[in-house]
Amino acid sequence: MFPREGLIPPVILKYYLYKATKAVEFYRPIMYIYFLSQGLSFTQIVILEAVYNLTTLLGEIPTGYISDRVGRRPSLLIGTVLITVTLVGIGLANSFAELLVLYVFWSMGYNFRSGSEDAWLYDSLTDLSESERFAHVRGRGEALALAIGAVASVVGGYLAGFDLSYPFFVAAAIMGVGIVVVLSMPEPRSYRVQGSDSLQFTESIHIIRQTVENRSIRAFILYYFILFSAVLYVTSIFLQPVFEEAALEMGVPRGQVEPLLGWFYAVVSLLSAALSYNTGIIHQKIGIKGWFLTVPFAVGLGLSSLWFFPLFAIPVLLFVRAIVETSRSLAIQYINDRSGTTGRASVLSAMAMVSSVTVIPFQLGSGIISDVFTPIIALSLAGIVLIGGSTLLIAVSTPFAPPESAKGTPSK
């Protein structure tokens, strides 16, 4: 437990505050509707997402190396500034070409934050001799962020009722507060004493290769970072048009769809917050193995059922989006427990890069299928692929093997 029972260390409070400033994505419930209103097709939307992930592919390892070499806090600062400026640009954009350029900067912003954020937290907990509580603390941070995100979703839906660009501007203003918060976050002592600030790029690549060569990690990368996360990403793209179509068919006036989407995202955030808040308990009671042997198949069955029962789309997507953050926290705990402090941000960034590579064909394929058929068909096929792929991987590999050399508390 923390040094004094019931007292949260100041460094963890700053982490929670940082997560709160990240959570104000007022634009999230209407983002793809906004793009459609700009005249974009589903294929163009997934091209934007593919460019985002291609940028992640090219930028994750270099930005992870920068985090390991220069520091966690400078990387978080660069990322927060890039995202803030990009949100303003998206709200002002009025063409596919402009959005294409902005998506590159948006991705780079998240590149700088992706591995650095989790590496900063794990190293800070290591300073407190509490590294085994990473999933617990990260889960609580996500719960706070999601609860705030629920309110932001509702507000964003109503803001969009006036103008679809307003949620982007308001999100940028509050995201800017995160710059001040990051400046107040200390660099972990564990990072400094391990000598990561002298890490060479070739050494960073070597550390990543050594990590991936660990068989207890390699199979898990295929299972979660390649297959499961790709399907989860696809559901985020098609949730809004599927919801909009269902709402209109139910007789909801077109002007009320955006506020209703805001409420729906709020419910998703609250359910996700409840799960994230209990990530530590899930880790202890169910275990990483139990979670990932159950949840991907539940998601696959739910999505594939939409082929025959399209009216199930709303509850199925509600469940799918609610389990995203808890799954991510448990997956990162698994990787963190099997990697060292030196090069940690590079390793975590490499995991994000792997996901980005895989999701590109999923995005392009689902976009074309949606334009030719419907988004429901695209989601159904994604569910079938998830069930088949997960079954095959479990049959031929060991995604949840114990670590070959424990570098933390082994995951269940």
Q: At 314, which CATH number?
A: 1.20.1250.20
- Does 411 map to a domain? no
- Does 401 map to a domain? no
Q: So what's the pLDDT on residue 314?
A: 84
CB 211 within 8 A of CB 105: no
Residues with Cβ < 8 Å from 16, sequence gap 6 or more? 8, 140, 141, 144
- Does 182 map to a domain? yes
> Can you read off the two tokens belonging to residue 331?
């997956």
Q: So what's the pLDDT on residue 406?
A: 40
- Does 358 map to a domain? yes
CA-derived radius of gyration, the chain: 20
- Does 412 map to a domain? no
Q: Residue 78 belongs to what domain range?
A: 10-186+199-396
Q: So what's the pLDDT on residue 410?
A: 40
- Does 123 map to a domain? yes
Domain count across the chain: 1
Q: So what's the pLDDT on residue 168?
A: 92
Over the chain, what HEC string results? CCCCCCCCCHHHHHHHHHHHHHCCCCCHHHHHHHHHHCCCCHHHHHHHHHHHHHHHHHHHHHHHHHHHHHCHHHHHHHHHHHHHHHHHHHHHCCCHHHHHHHHHHHHHHHHHHHHHHHHHHHHHHHHCCCHHHHHHHHHHHHHHHHHHHHHHHHHHHHHHHHCCCHHHHHHHHHHCHHHHHHHHCCCCHHHHHCCHHHCCHHHHHHHHHHHHHCHHHHHHHHHHHHHHHHHHHHHHHHHHHHHHHHHHHCCCCHHHHHHHHHHHHHHHHHHHHHHHHCHHHHHHHCHHHHHHHHHHHHHHHHHHHHHCCHHHHHHHHHHHHHCHHHHHHHHHHHHHCCCCCCCHHHHHHHHHHHHHHHHHHHHHHHHHHHHHCCHHHHHHHHHHHHHHHHHHHHHHCCCCCCCCCCCCCCCC
**CA 172, CA 178: separation in Å to the nearest integer?**
10
- Does 192 map to a domain? no
- pLDDT below 70 — which residues of the chain? 1-6, 60-61, 64, 115, 190-216, 337-358, 363, 401-412
- Indicate the pTM of the whole model: 0.62
Residue whose C-alpha is closest to residue 211's, from 121, 337, 393: 337
- Does 408 map to a domain? no
